[in-house]
Structure 1
Amino acid sequence: MNDFDISFSPAIYNRRENDYIKSIQIDHILVAPSGIFLIETKNWSVKSLQDLNLRSPVQQIKRTNFVLFKLLNKEISNSHLSLGKHHWGDKKISIKNLIVLTNTRPKEEFQYVKIVTLNELLSYINYFKPVFSNYETKRIAEFLLEINNQKTIET
């Protein structure tokens, strides 16, 4: 999915960050058997990477992850999104945060966010083993498409 963009009424509260989230936008969401990949793409120069006035894509993707995790788990607990059961308990919703930079990337690594270049993207995604069946992958994708089409979600 490209340009995933939704708003919330009322805002979703993230207690850990003391943040009221009224909307989220993510460049791309890939739903695959190996998990859900939130992908923010940037075509930034070295100068842009050092510019303190630019909004942090790390913070942006972490906010989106929080909201999607909350929405997906609410659907699972309400049994609207049924994932296969295991006798040990409910399956984990695996959401991976990726920032893909087309030019250069910072040397630093960030907690909960993987930064890769465009050339590294496919091998990074292929690294992960499947955790969802094809049916579960399809159900998750359908749910995300449905909420993206709504544009505003009553929370």
Structure 2
Amino acid sequence: MPGGRSFHKRWINNRASPHLPHAAPQAGKATVIGESGAWLNLRETLLELRLPVRNPEDIHPLLLKLKDWRSITLSEFHKEVSTYIRTINERIAALRAEKGFFRSIFNWFGILGHNRDIAELSGLEERYAEILTENIRILEHTLHSPELTGAKAELEVIWRLRSLPGGYTVFNNVQLNSRRFIKFNDVPLQSAQLDHVVLSPAGVFVIETKCWSRQFSESGHYHNPFDQVQRARYLCWDLLKAEYGKLPVRAIILTSDSLPAAPPDSYTKVLYSKDLTGYITWFNRQELSPDVLRDVARYLADRVVDASCSDADLADLDPVDLLGSAVFSRMRAQAEPSVRAELEEK
């Protein structure tokens, strides 16, 4: 994980990390490290399209903003493209007016390049409209997508886990990898992504969040969630055993609607989110010493997958400047001073 080791050192020193958002330890409150993996994936997908959102509540206002600005933005984009094309045509006319055989041959290459620029700009204007329309469609789809529903469910779980007592630590979006393949139910196992892990004096809790409709649950088109969370639990137990000996590791599935039937031999606890903290704190027997708690916390913090972008990165993005900065920088550099001033005013 990029920046993982430097992060856990900062965390142990109770300092804020610029890379991995988390809540610093507070008296009577759990320490929370990391963000929802489902939300990070969705946010970074939108970021690649220059659609900056910090939380799910930002999506609808951004959609309204793009719809409101669409006609104005396309008009301004057209004006800027037209201004560039006009100054390029003026430059072409000046090149053609120059006298001399060798000068005309030399200028011919310059005119050829300017004509390519005009063709590129004309194509970009059409492309800009397509991208803006497509981004509006993507945001409309995202608002009603299962990805956003799943992200909101994970964010609610994190919100509830924050209320755990002091001495508990919550890790979100944990990636575990083993150096070797191990067998679980006769199937090779080497890695697992864990939605949430809670570390308490009574042991470790591996939590998988599911927000499935009854229709999806009955479809059978998924990896069985009971097998999924048990594989993650077993890998977590195996990796921690190698470092710290046998520790209690329990599996939980959080559901808001529907799940397939549990296997007869399942040891996975199925809960609604409102019952989560009560179940975890029910286990109050001290199983981990303070030293082991500290070391396991370092181990898990080192495996939290952080965001690839910061709030500063999001602040630098303009959702309607889809092509402008990259496309026009070369043209601005080449423009005559009077034209450049006119464009910069726009």
Q: If each structure's strand is expressed as a fraction of its own residues, which one has the higher value?
A: 1
RMSD: 2.3
Q: Could you say if the C-alpha distance between residues 129 and 51 of structure 1 is closer, same or farther in structure 2, counting changes exceeding 3 Å?
A: same
Provide the rounded CA distance (Å) in 2 between the counterparts of 1:107 and 1:56: 10
Residue 122 of structure 1 is matched in structure 2 by 277
Q: Is 1:144 aligned with 2:300? A: yes
Provide the rounded CA distance (Å) in 2 between the counterparts of 1:139 and 1:5: 17
Higher relative contact order, structure no. (Cα contacts within 8 Å, ≥ 6 residues apart): 1
Provide the rounded CA distance (Å) in 1 between the counterparts of 2:261 and 2:304: 37
Q: Could you say if the C-alpha distance between residues 136 and 128 of structure 1 is closer, same or farther in structure 2, counting changes exceeding 3 Å?
A: same
Q: If each structure's helix is expressed as a fraction of its own residues, which one has the higher value?
A: 2
Provide the rounded CA distance (Å) in 2 between the counterparts of 1:55 and 1:105: 12
Q: Is 1:17 aligned with 2:171? A: no
Provide the rounded CA distance (Å) in 1 between the counterparts of 2:208 and 2:295: 23
> Is 1:104–1:117's contact at 8 Å kept on the other side of the alignment?
no
Identity, in percent, stands at: 24
Deviations 1:90-123 (A, max 9, x none): xx41101000012345675761200001111111
Q: Could you say if the C-alpha distance between residues 55 and 108 of structure 1 is closer, same or farther in structure 2, counting changes exceeding 3 Å?
A: closer
Residue 267 of structure 2 is matched in structure 1 by 112
Q: Is 1:54 aligned with 2:222? A: yes
For structure 1, the residue ranges without an aligned partner over 5 or more in a row are 78-91, 151-155
Aligned pair partner of 1:37 in 205, 225, 246:
205
Secondary structure, aligned partner of 1:53: coil
Paired amino acid for 2:292: E
Larger deviation: 105-114 or 27-36? Answer: 105-114
Q: How does 1:54-73 map to 2 (within 5 A)?
A: 54-73=222-241
For structure 2, the residue ranges without an aligned partner over 5 or more in a row are 1-170, 306-346
Provide the rounded CA distance (Å) in 1 between the counterparts of 2:243 and 2:208: 24
Q: Could you say if the C-alpha distance between residues 122 and 58 of structure 1 is closer, same or farther in structure 2, counting changes exceeding 3 Å?
A: same
Give the structure with higher Rg (CA).
2
Q: How many residues in Structure 1 have an aligned counterpart in Structure 2?
A: 133
